[in-house]
Structure 1
Amino acid sequence: MYIIKLNAIDSTNSYLKAMASVNLPKDFTVVVADHQTQGRGQMGTTWQTEDGKNLTASVFKAFGFVDVEKQFYISMAVALSICKALDILKISQLSIKWPNDILSANKKICGTLIENVIKQNQLKGSIIGFGLNVNQKYFDNLPKASSMSLLTGVVYNKDEVLSQILKQLQYYFAILESKDYEKLKVEYESLLFRKDKPSTFKNEDGTTFSGIIKGITETGKLNVWTEDDVIKTFDLKQVTLLY
Protein backbone atom coordinates (compact mmCIF):
# COMPACT_ATOMS: atom_id res chain seq x y z
CA MET A 1 0.00 0.00 0.00
CA TYR A 2 1.33 3.44 -0.97
CA ILE A 3 -0.27 6.53 0.60
CA ILE A 4 0.15 9.99 -0.95
CA LYS A 5 -1.04 12.85 1.31
CA LEU A 6 -1.85 16.23 -0.24
CA ASN A 7 -2.99 19.49 1.32
CA ALA A 8 -5.17 20.48 -1.63
CA ILE A 9 -6.01 19.07 -5.05
CA ASP A 10 -8.74 19.55 -7.63
CA SER A 11 -9.82 15.92 -7.26
CA THR A 12 -8.08 12.85 -5.89
CA ASN A 13 -9.67 10.78 -8.67
CA SER A 14 -8.34 13.19 -11.30
CA TYR A 15 -4.88 12.95 -9.72
CA LEU A 16 -4.88 9.15 -10.04
CA LYS A 17 -6.38 9.31 -13.55
CA ALA A 18 -3.51 11.53 -14.65
CA MET A 19 -1.06 9.00 -13.21
CA ALA A 20 -2.86 6.12 -14.92
CA SER A 21 -2.81 7.88 -18.29
CA VAL A 22 1.00 7.56 -18.27
CA ASN A 23 1.52 4.29 -16.38
CA LEU A 24 -0.81 2.35 -14.13
CA PRO A 25 -0.11 3.29 -10.50
CA LYS A 26 1.16 0.64 -8.13
CA ASP A 27 -1.59 -1.59 -6.80
CA PHE A 28 -3.38 -0.06 -3.81
CA THR A 29 -1.97 3.43 -4.28
CA VAL A 30 -3.96 5.76 -2.01
CA VAL A 31 -4.28 9.53 -2.48
CA VAL A 32 -5.70 11.59 0.42
CA ALA A 33 -6.39 15.34 0.36
CA ASP A 34 -7.38 17.73 3.13
CA HIS A 35 -9.18 19.86 0.57
CA GLN A 36 -10.65 19.12 -2.86
CA THR A 37 -11.51 22.09 -5.06
CA GLN A 38 -13.41 20.07 -7.66
CA GLY A 39 -14.55 16.88 -5.94
CA ARG A 40 -16.77 14.85 -8.24
CA GLY A 41 -19.68 12.50 -7.70
CA GLN A 42 -21.84 10.23 -9.80
CA MET A 43 -23.08 11.57 -13.16
CA GLY A 44 -21.14 14.81 -13.01
CA THR A 45 -22.33 16.02 -9.61
CA THR A 46 -19.98 17.93 -7.32
CA TRP A 47 -19.03 16.98 -3.79
CA GLN A 48 -19.24 19.74 -1.17
CA THR A 49 -16.78 19.47 1.68
CA GLU A 50 -15.54 21.76 4.44
CA ASP A 51 -11.76 22.20 4.60
CA GLY A 52 -10.04 19.68 6.83
CA LYS A 53 -13.24 18.26 8.29
CA ASN A 54 -13.90 15.32 6.00
CA LEU A 55 -12.14 12.38 4.40
CA THR A 56 -11.57 12.70 0.66
CA ALA A 57 -9.50 9.92 -0.84
CA SER A 58 -9.02 7.76 -3.89
CA VAL A 59 -7.55 4.28 -4.22
CA PHE A 60 -6.13 2.63 -7.32
CA LYS A 61 -6.76 -1.12 -7.31
CA ALA A 62 -5.54 -3.45 -10.04
CA PHE A 63 -8.40 -5.70 -11.15
CA GLY A 64 -7.00 -7.99 -13.80
CA PHE A 65 -9.06 -10.78 -12.20
CA VAL A 66 -12.45 -9.08 -12.78
CA ASP A 67 -14.22 -9.46 -16.13
CA VAL A 68 -15.63 -6.25 -17.62
CA GLU A 69 -19.20 -7.55 -17.33
CA LYS A 70 -18.66 -8.17 -13.61
CA GLN A 71 -17.43 -4.63 -12.85
CA PHE A 72 -20.43 -3.70 -10.67
CA TYR A 73 -19.13 -6.18 -8.10
CA ILE A 74 -16.31 -3.68 -7.51
CA SER A 75 -18.96 -1.10 -6.59
CA MET A 76 -20.60 -3.63 -4.24
CA ALA A 77 -17.28 -4.42 -2.56
CA VAL A 78 -16.52 -0.72 -2.05
CA ALA A 79 -19.93 0.09 -0.56
CA LEU A 80 -19.73 -2.92 1.76
CA SER A 81 -16.20 -1.96 2.85
CA ILE A 82 -17.28 1.54 3.85
CA CYS A 83 -20.40 0.25 5.63
CA LYS A 84 -18.38 -2.33 7.56
CA ALA A 85 -15.78 0.25 8.59
CA LEU A 86 -18.49 2.66 9.76
CA ASP A 87 -20.24 -0.12 11.65
CA ILE A 88 -16.99 -0.90 13.48
CA LEU A 89 -16.74 2.82 14.28
CA LYS A 90 -20.20 2.63 15.90
CA ILE A 91 -22.19 4.42 13.18
CA SER A 92 -25.70 2.93 13.27
CA GLN A 93 -28.64 2.48 10.89
CA LEU A 94 -26.39 2.07 7.85
CA SER A 95 -27.74 1.43 4.38
CA ILE A 96 -26.64 1.64 0.74
CA LYS A 97 -28.71 3.90 -1.50
CA TRP A 98 -28.40 2.41 -4.96
CA PRO A 99 -25.93 2.34 -6.51
CA ASN A 100 -23.38 3.23 -3.82
CA ASP A 101 -24.25 6.19 -1.57
CA ILE A 102 -23.85 5.36 2.11
CA LEU A 103 -26.62 6.49 4.46
CA SER A 104 -27.05 6.51 8.20
CA ALA A 105 -30.52 7.09 9.58
CA ASN A 106 -31.62 8.01 6.04
CA LYS A 107 -28.99 10.78 5.81
CA LYS A 108 -26.17 10.65 3.26
CA ILE A 109 -22.74 10.56 4.86
CA CYS A 110 -20.60 9.14 2.05
CA GLY A 111 -20.53 9.25 -1.73
CA THR A 112 -18.30 7.25 -4.04
CA LEU A 113 -17.09 7.58 -7.60
CA ILE A 114 -15.57 4.55 -9.30
CA GLU A 115 -13.82 5.05 -12.63
CA ASN A 116 -12.64 1.89 -14.33
CA VAL A 117 -9.50 1.70 -16.45
CA ILE A 118 -10.41 -0.50 -19.41
CA LYS A 119 -7.92 -1.21 -22.18
CA GLN A 120 -8.58 -3.48 -25.17
CA ASN A 121 -11.88 -4.52 -23.57
CA GLN A 122 -10.09 -5.72 -20.45
CA LEU A 123 -10.48 -4.24 -16.98
CA LYS A 124 -7.02 -3.24 -15.81
CA GLY A 125 -7.98 -1.49 -12.61
CA SER A 126 -10.28 0.97 -10.90
CA ILE A 127 -9.88 4.43 -9.41
CA ILE A 128 -12.10 4.36 -6.34
CA GLY A 129 -12.90 7.77 -4.90
CA PHE A 130 -14.90 8.39 -1.76
CA GLY A 131 -15.94 11.45 0.15
CA LEU A 132 -16.94 10.72 3.73
CA ASN A 133 -18.44 13.39 5.96
CA VAL A 134 -16.47 12.94 9.19
CA ASN A 135 -16.40 16.03 11.41
CA GLN A 136 -18.39 18.58 9.37
CA LYS A 137 -21.24 20.16 11.34
CA TYR A 138 -23.01 22.42 8.82
CA PHE A 139 -24.37 21.59 5.37
CA ASP A 140 -25.80 24.50 3.37
CA ASN A 141 -28.98 23.59 1.50
CA LEU A 142 -28.32 19.87 1.93
CA PRO A 143 -31.11 18.66 4.24
CA LYS A 144 -30.37 15.01 3.50
CA ALA A 145 -26.67 15.23 4.42
CA SER A 146 -25.05 14.38 7.74
CA SER A 147 -21.66 13.40 9.15
CA MET A 148 -20.21 10.85 11.52
CA SER A 149 -19.72 13.54 14.17
CA LEU A 150 -23.27 14.89 13.85
CA LEU A 151 -24.63 11.37 14.25
CA THR A 152 -22.59 10.42 17.32
CA GLY A 153 -21.24 13.61 18.90
CA VAL A 154 -17.71 12.23 18.58
CA VAL A 155 -14.83 14.09 16.89
CA TYR A 156 -12.99 11.50 14.81
CA ASN A 157 -9.36 11.07 13.83
CA LYS A 158 -9.51 10.97 10.03
CA ASP A 159 -6.37 8.83 9.75
CA GLU A 160 -7.99 6.18 11.94
CA VAL A 161 -11.16 6.28 9.85
CA LEU A 162 -9.14 5.92 6.63
CA SER A 163 -7.13 3.05 8.11
CA GLN A 164 -10.31 1.15 8.93
CA ILE A 165 -11.78 1.71 5.45
CA LEU A 166 -8.56 0.54 3.77
CA LYS A 167 -8.54 -2.57 5.96
CA GLN A 168 -12.09 -3.42 4.92
CA LEU A 169 -11.34 -2.73 1.24
CA GLN A 170 -8.57 -5.34 1.41
CA TYR A 171 -11.00 -7.82 2.99
CA TYR A 172 -13.76 -7.35 0.42
CA PHE A 173 -11.37 -7.23 -2.53
CA ALA A 174 -10.08 -10.64 -1.39
CA ILE A 175 -13.66 -11.94 -1.57
CA LEU A 176 -13.95 -10.43 -5.05
CA GLU A 177 -10.70 -12.07 -6.13
CA SER A 178 -12.00 -15.42 -4.87
CA LYS A 179 -14.99 -14.85 -7.19
CA ASP A 180 -17.50 -15.34 -4.38
CA TYR A 181 -19.95 -13.07 -6.19
CA GLU A 182 -22.99 -14.47 -4.42
CA LYS A 183 -21.64 -13.46 -1.00
CA LEU A 184 -21.09 -9.89 -2.17
CA LYS A 185 -24.51 -9.64 -3.83
CA VAL A 186 -26.43 -11.08 -0.87
CA GLU A 187 -24.68 -8.79 1.61
CA TYR A 188 -25.11 -5.76 -0.65
CA GLU A 189 -28.83 -6.42 -1.11
CA SER A 190 -29.27 -6.91 2.64
CA LEU A 191 -28.16 -3.29 3.12
CA LEU A 192 -30.03 -1.83 0.14
CA PHE A 193 -31.94 1.30 1.14
CA ARG A 194 -35.74 0.88 0.98
CA LYS A 195 -35.55 -2.72 -0.25
CA ASP A 196 -38.98 -4.39 -0.01
CA LYS A 197 -40.63 -1.09 0.97
CA PRO A 198 -43.11 0.89 -1.15
CA SER A 199 -41.16 3.81 -2.65
CA THR A 200 -41.57 6.59 -5.18
CA PHE A 201 -39.36 6.85 -8.25
CA LYS A 202 -38.84 9.41 -11.01
CA ASN A 203 -38.02 8.24 -14.52
CA GLU A 204 -36.13 9.96 -17.33
CA ASP A 205 -39.02 12.16 -18.50
CA GLY A 206 -39.71 13.41 -14.97
CA THR A 207 -42.85 11.40 -14.28
CA THR A 208 -43.14 9.60 -10.96
CA PHE A 209 -44.29 6.10 -10.21
CA SER A 210 -44.54 3.79 -7.22
CA GLY A 211 -42.70 0.53 -6.82
CA ILE A 212 -40.80 -1.77 -4.49
CA ILE A 213 -37.06 -2.42 -4.80
CA LYS A 214 -36.48 -6.17 -4.99
CA GLY A 215 -32.73 -6.22 -5.58
CA ILE A 216 -30.18 -5.74 -8.34
CA THR A 217 -28.95 -7.60 -11.40
CA GLU A 218 -25.39 -8.88 -11.77
CA THR A 219 -24.59 -5.77 -13.82
CA GLY A 220 -25.91 -3.47 -11.12
CA LYS A 221 -29.28 -2.53 -12.56
CA LEU A 222 -32.16 -2.01 -10.15
CA ASN A 223 -35.06 -4.48 -10.06
CA VAL A 224 -38.31 -2.73 -9.14
CA TRP A 225 -41.69 -4.41 -8.69
CA THR A 226 -44.02 -1.85 -10.24
CA GLU A 227 -47.70 -1.10 -9.79
CA ASP A 228 -48.67 -3.20 -12.81
CA ASP A 229 -47.31 -6.27 -10.99
CA VAL A 230 -44.23 -6.58 -13.19
CA ILE A 231 -40.57 -6.45 -12.13
CA LYS A 232 -38.83 -3.86 -14.29
CA THR A 233 -35.11 -3.28 -14.54
CA PHE A 234 -33.55 0.18 -14.59
CA ASP A 235 -30.02 1.48 -14.99
CA LEU A 236 -28.60 4.53 -13.24
CA LYS A 237 -29.66 7.05 -15.90
CA GLN A 238 -33.22 5.75 -16.19
CA VAL A 239 -34.58 6.15 -12.69
CA THR A 240 -34.12 8.14 -9.48
CA LEU A 241 -35.31 6.98 -6.07
CA LEU A 242 -37.19 9.75 -4.28
CA TYR A 243 -37.29 9.58 -0.49
Structure 2
Amino acid sequence: MIKPIFKYFEEIDSTNLEAKREGEAGAPEFTVISAGTQTAGRGRSGHTWISPKKISVATSMLLYPDGIPMEHLPRLTIIAGVAVAEAVEELYPLKTQIKWPNDVLIDSKKICGILTEMEAENGHAKQVVCGIGVNVHQKKEDFAPEIRDMATSLDLEMSGQQASRKAITEAIWQHFLKHYEVFRTNGGSLEGILDSYNSRLANKNKRVRVVHQIHDFEGIALEMDPNGRLLIKKDDGTITAVDSGEVHVRGLYGYA
Protein backbone atom coordinates (compact mmCIF):
# COMPACT_ATOMS: atom_id res chain seq x y z
CA MET A 1 0.00 0.00 0.00
CA ILE A 2 1.30 3.43 -0.95
CA LYS A 3 2.05 5.65 2.05
CA PRO A 4 1.79 9.42 1.64
CA ILE A 5 4.30 11.89 3.07
CA PHE A 6 2.42 14.48 5.14
CA LYS A 7 3.52 18.10 5.55
CA TYR A 8 1.43 20.51 7.62
CA PHE A 9 1.50 24.32 7.65
CA GLU A 10 -0.39 26.51 10.12
CA GLU A 11 -0.90 29.07 7.35
CA ILE A 12 -0.11 29.04 3.65
CA ASP A 13 -1.21 30.81 0.49
CA SER A 14 -2.61 27.66 -1.13
CA THR A 15 -1.97 23.96 -0.57
CA ASN A 16 -2.17 23.42 -4.34
CA LEU A 17 0.47 26.07 -4.96
CA GLU A 18 2.74 24.64 -2.27
CA ALA A 19 2.36 21.13 -3.69
CA LYS A 20 3.36 22.51 -7.10
CA ARG A 21 6.40 24.18 -5.56
CA GLU A 22 7.32 20.92 -3.84
CA GLY A 23 7.08 19.10 -7.16
CA GLU A 24 9.29 21.64 -8.90
CA ALA A 25 11.85 21.15 -6.11
CA GLY A 26 11.85 17.38 -6.67
CA ALA A 27 9.61 16.21 -3.83
CA PRO A 28 8.56 12.54 -3.86
CA GLU A 29 5.26 11.48 -5.37
CA PHE A 30 2.37 11.29 -2.88
CA THR A 31 3.63 14.27 -0.88
CA VAL A 32 0.59 15.76 0.87
CA ILE A 33 0.40 19.43 1.82
CA SER A 34 -2.21 20.40 4.42
CA ALA A 35 -2.84 23.71 6.14
CA GLY A 36 -4.77 25.20 9.03
CA THR A 37 -5.52 28.31 6.98
CA GLN A 38 -5.23 29.22 3.31
CA THR A 39 -4.88 32.89 2.43
CA ALA A 40 -5.32 32.35 -1.31
CA GLY A 41 -7.13 29.03 -1.67
CA ARG A 42 -8.60 28.33 -5.08
CA GLY A 43 -11.59 26.45 -6.40
CA ARG A 44 -12.84 25.49 -9.83
CA SER A 45 -13.22 28.09 -12.59
CA GLY A 46 -10.94 30.51 -10.75
CA HIS A 47 -13.25 30.83 -7.76
CA THR A 48 -11.80 31.47 -4.31
CA TRP A 49 -12.08 28.58 -1.84
CA ILE A 50 -12.30 30.18 1.61
CA SER A 51 -10.38 28.30 4.33
CA PRO A 52 -10.95 30.06 7.66
CA LYS A 53 -8.59 29.25 10.49
CA LYS A 54 -8.66 25.59 11.48
CA ILE A 55 -12.29 24.87 10.67
CA SER A 56 -11.78 23.18 7.28
CA VAL A 57 -9.64 20.50 5.74
CA ALA A 58 -7.34 22.05 3.13
CA THR A 59 -5.11 19.39 1.61
CA SER A 60 -3.36 18.65 -1.70
CA MET A 61 -1.42 15.67 -3.06
CA LEU A 62 1.44 15.71 -5.56
CA LEU A 63 1.28 13.03 -8.26
CA TYR A 64 3.59 11.96 -11.09
CA PRO A 65 1.08 9.95 -13.14
CA ASP A 66 3.33 7.92 -15.44
CA GLY A 67 1.46 5.55 -17.72
CA ILE A 68 -1.90 7.31 -17.53
CA PRO A 69 -2.98 9.03 -20.78
CA MET A 70 -3.10 12.77 -20.21
CA GLU A 71 -6.69 13.04 -21.42
CA HIS A 72 -7.79 10.72 -18.59
CA LEU A 73 -6.17 12.70 -15.76
CA PRO A 74 -9.17 15.03 -15.16
CA ARG A 75 -10.94 11.88 -13.91
CA LEU A 76 -8.83 12.18 -10.75
CA THR A 77 -11.39 14.69 -9.47
CA ILE A 78 -14.01 11.93 -9.59
CA ILE A 79 -11.72 9.59 -7.65
CA ALA A 80 -11.17 12.36 -5.10
CA GLY A 81 -14.93 12.76 -4.69
CA VAL A 82 -15.35 9.05 -4.02
CA ALA A 83 -12.47 9.17 -1.53
CA VAL A 84 -14.11 12.01 0.41
CA ALA A 85 -17.47 10.22 0.48
CA GLU A 86 -15.92 6.94 1.65
CA ALA A 87 -13.76 8.65 4.29
CA VAL A 88 -16.71 10.54 5.76
CA GLU A 89 -18.83 7.39 5.98
CA GLU A 90 -15.95 5.38 7.46
CA LEU A 91 -15.43 7.85 10.30
CA TYR A 92 -18.87 9.27 11.02
CA PRO A 93 -22.53 8.17 11.10
CA LEU A 94 -23.35 10.13 7.96
CA LYS A 95 -24.72 9.22 4.54
CA THR A 96 -23.09 10.87 1.54
CA GLN A 97 -24.17 11.34 -2.05
CA ILE A 98 -22.21 12.41 -5.11
CA LYS A 99 -23.76 14.80 -7.58
CA TRP A 100 -22.17 14.12 -10.97
CA PRO A 101 -19.38 14.59 -11.60
CA ASN A 102 -17.75 15.19 -8.21
CA ASP A 103 -19.82 17.26 -5.77
CA VAL A 104 -20.00 15.41 -2.44
CA LEU A 105 -23.28 16.07 -0.62
CA ILE A 106 -24.77 15.36 2.78
CA ASP A 107 -28.53 15.86 2.95
CA SER A 108 -28.35 17.50 -0.52
CA LYS A 109 -25.83 20.11 0.69
CA LYS A 110 -22.27 20.44 -0.56
CA ILE A 111 -19.55 19.40 1.86
CA CYS A 112 -16.35 19.82 -0.16
CA GLY A 113 -14.56 21.31 -3.14
CA ILE A 114 -12.01 19.61 -5.39
CA LEU A 115 -9.48 21.19 -7.75
CA THR A 116 -7.07 19.12 -9.85
CA GLU A 117 -4.33 20.99 -11.71
CA MET A 118 -1.88 19.57 -14.24
CA GLU A 119 1.45 20.74 -15.61
CA ALA A 120 2.33 19.29 -19.01
CA GLU A 121 5.59 19.14 -20.94
CA ASN A 122 6.00 17.86 -24.51
CA GLY A 123 2.50 16.42 -24.54
CA HIS A 124 2.92 14.53 -21.26
CA ALA A 125 1.80 15.32 -17.73
CA LYS A 126 4.84 16.42 -15.75
CA GLN A 127 2.97 16.55 -12.47
CA VAL A 128 -0.59 16.68 -11.16
CA VAL A 129 -1.80 18.27 -7.95
CA CYS A 130 -5.14 17.15 -6.53
CA GLY A 131 -6.53 19.60 -3.98
CA ILE A 132 -9.43 18.90 -1.63
CA GLY A 133 -11.24 21.21 0.76
CA VAL A 134 -13.78 19.84 3.25
CA ASN A 135 -16.07 21.84 5.51
CA VAL A 136 -15.53 20.45 9.02
CA HIS A 137 -16.26 22.82 11.92
CA GLN A 138 -18.29 25.54 10.17
CA LYS A 139 -21.45 26.82 11.81
CA LYS A 140 -24.39 28.03 9.76
CA GLU A 141 -23.33 31.66 10.10
CA ASP A 142 -19.84 30.89 8.76
CA PHE A 143 -21.30 30.43 5.28
CA ALA A 144 -22.18 33.42 3.12
CA PRO A 145 -25.96 34.05 3.09
CA GLU A 146 -26.23 33.10 -0.59
CA ILE A 147 -24.88 29.57 0.00
CA ARG A 148 -26.23 28.74 3.48
CA ASP A 149 -28.96 26.55 2.06
CA MET A 150 -26.55 24.78 -0.30
CA ALA A 151 -23.49 24.12 1.89
CA THR A 152 -22.90 22.28 5.15
CA SER A 153 -20.14 20.99 7.42
CA LEU A 154 -19.46 17.68 9.14
CA ASP A 155 -20.14 19.18 12.57
CA LEU A 156 -23.46 20.66 11.45
CA GLU A 157 -24.60 17.29 10.14
CA MET A 158 -23.61 15.53 13.37
CA SER A 159 -25.59 17.86 15.66
CA GLY A 160 -22.81 18.82 18.00
CA GLN A 161 -20.35 15.95 17.67
CA GLN A 162 -17.01 17.36 16.57
CA ALA A 163 -15.20 15.85 13.61
CA SER A 164 -11.40 15.58 13.39
CA ARG A 165 -9.63 17.46 10.62
CA LYS A 166 -6.56 15.23 10.96
CA ALA A 167 -8.56 11.99 10.85
CA ILE A 168 -10.59 13.02 7.81
CA THR A 169 -7.45 14.17 5.95
CA GLU A 170 -5.66 10.87 6.53
CA ALA A 171 -8.74 8.80 5.65
CA ILE A 172 -9.35 10.72 2.42
CA TRP A 173 -5.85 10.06 1.12
CA GLN A 174 -5.97 6.42 2.20
CA HIS A 175 -9.10 5.88 0.13
CA PHE A 176 -7.78 8.02 -2.73
CA LEU A 177 -4.54 6.03 -3.04
CA LYS A 178 -6.40 2.72 -2.93
CA HIS A 179 -8.41 3.81 -5.96
CA TYR A 180 -5.48 5.59 -7.64
CA GLU A 181 -3.46 2.38 -7.78
CA VAL A 182 -6.32 0.62 -9.61
CA PHE A 183 -6.90 3.66 -11.85
CA ARG A 184 -3.23 3.68 -12.88
CA THR A 185 -3.16 -0.09 -13.43
CA ASN A 186 -6.27 0.21 -15.62
CA GLY A 187 -4.73 2.95 -17.77
CA GLY A 188 -7.09 5.67 -16.60
CA SER A 189 -10.39 3.76 -16.56
CA LEU A 190 -12.80 4.44 -13.68
CA GLU A 191 -14.04 0.84 -13.70
CA GLY A 192 -12.64 0.26 -10.20
CA ILE A 193 -14.81 2.91 -8.52
CA LEU A 194 -18.08 2.45 -10.43
CA ASP A 195 -19.89 0.50 -7.71
CA SER A 196 -18.87 2.92 -4.97
CA TYR A 197 -19.68 5.93 -7.14
CA ASN A 198 -22.99 4.85 -8.64
CA SER A 199 -24.34 3.63 -5.30
CA ARG A 200 -24.02 7.24 -4.11
CA LEU A 201 -25.07 9.01 -7.32
CA ALA A 202 -27.47 11.77 -6.30
CA ASN A 203 -28.67 12.23 -9.89
CA LYS A 204 -29.59 8.54 -10.28
CA ASN A 205 -33.11 8.00 -11.65
CA LYS A 206 -33.73 11.75 -11.44
CA ARG A 207 -35.05 13.88 -14.26
CA VAL A 208 -32.37 16.28 -15.44
CA ARG A 209 -31.83 18.92 -18.08
CA VAL A 210 -28.59 18.73 -20.05
CA VAL A 211 -27.43 22.22 -21.04
CA HIS A 212 -25.27 22.03 -24.16
CA GLN A 213 -23.90 24.82 -26.34
CA ILE A 214 -25.62 23.31 -29.39
CA HIS A 215 -28.91 22.11 -27.93
CA ASP A 216 -30.49 21.31 -24.55
CA PHE A 217 -32.44 18.18 -23.76
CA GLU A 218 -34.08 16.41 -20.83
CA GLY A 219 -34.04 12.83 -19.64
CA ILE A 220 -33.48 10.46 -16.74
CA ALA A 221 -29.96 10.15 -15.30
CA LEU A 222 -28.96 6.48 -15.08
CA GLU A 223 -25.34 6.10 -13.93
CA MET A 224 -21.73 7.06 -14.62
CA ASP A 225 -19.74 4.96 -17.09
CA PRO A 226 -16.01 3.96 -16.86
CA ASN A 227 -15.07 7.10 -18.81
CA GLY A 228 -16.67 9.41 -16.25
CA ARG A 229 -19.63 10.23 -18.50
CA LEU A 230 -23.19 10.42 -17.21
CA LEU A 231 -25.60 8.13 -19.05
CA ILE A 232 -28.94 9.82 -19.78
CA LYS A 233 -32.08 8.09 -21.04
CA LYS A 234 -33.72 10.62 -23.33
CA ASP A 235 -37.47 10.97 -23.75
CA ASP A 236 -37.34 9.06 -27.05
CA GLY A 237 -35.86 6.05 -25.22
CA THR A 238 -32.31 6.38 -26.53
CA ILE A 239 -29.38 6.48 -24.11
CA THR A 240 -26.65 9.07 -24.55
CA ALA A 241 -23.42 9.67 -22.64
CA VAL A 242 -22.56 13.24 -21.66
CA ASP A 243 -19.13 14.52 -20.67
CA SER A 244 -18.67 17.00 -17.84
CA GLY A 245 -16.32 19.09 -19.96
CA GLU A 246 -19.01 19.70 -22.57
CA VAL A 247 -22.28 20.09 -20.69
CA HIS A 248 -23.93 21.12 -17.45
CA VAL A 249 -26.54 18.86 -15.89
CA ARG A 250 -29.28 20.53 -13.87
CA GLY A 251 -31.91 18.89 -11.75
CA LEU A 252 -35.60 19.57 -12.25
CA TYR A 253 -38.50 19.89 -9.81
CA GLY A 254 -36.43 21.38 -7.00
CA TYR A 255 -33.65 18.83 -7.17
CA ALA A 256 -30.20 20.46 -7.06
SS at match of 2:219: strand
Counterpart in 2 of 1:195? 204
Give how far 1:40 is off. Answer: 1.5
Counterpart in 1 of 2:6? 3
Q: Give the TM-score normalised by structure 1.
A: 0.86
Q: Tell whether 2:225 aligns with 1:222.
A: no
Counterpart in 1 of 2:83? 81
- 205, 212, 219: which is aligned to 1:211? 219
Structure 2: runs of 5+ lacking an equivalent: none
- Bigger shift: 224-233 or 27-36? 224-233
Structure 1: runs of 5+ lacking an equivalent: none
1:114-145 per-position Cα deviation (integer Å, ceiling 9, x unaligned) = 11233222234420101100111121221210
Change (3 A) 1:198 1:61: same
Q: Tell whether 2:157 aligns with 1:151.
A: yes
Counterpart in 2 of 1:18? 21
Could you tell me whether the CA contact under 8 Å between 2:20 and 2:62 is conserved in 1?
A: no
Distance in 2 (alpha carbons) for counterparts of 1:234 and 1:43:
17
Counterpart in 1 of 2:113? 111
Q: Output the amino acid matched with 1:149.
A: D
Q: Output the amino acid matched with 1:212.
A: I
Distance in 2 (alpha carbons) for counterparts of 1:156 and 1:109:
13
Equivalent pairs, count: 241
Matches for 1:143-182 after TM superposition, within 5 Å: 143-153=149-159, 154-179=161-186, 181-182=190-191
Give how far 1:60 is off. Answer: 0.7
SS at match of 1:241: strand
SS at match of 2:136: coil
Give how far 1:201 is off. Answer: 4.7
Could you tell me whether the CA contact under 8 Å between 2:74 and 2:116 is conserved in 1?
A: no
- Bigger shift: 1-10 or 179-188? 179-188
Q: Percent identity?
A: 25
Distance in 2 (alpha carbons) for counterparts of 1:219 and 1:210:
21
Distance in 1 (alpha carbons) for counterparts of 2:41 and 2:59:
10
SS at match of 1:167: helix
Could you tell me whether the CA contact under 8 Å between 2:44 and 2:115 is conserved in 1?
A: yes
Distance in 1 (alpha carbons) for counterparts of 2:173 and 2:35:
15
SS at match of 1:123: strand
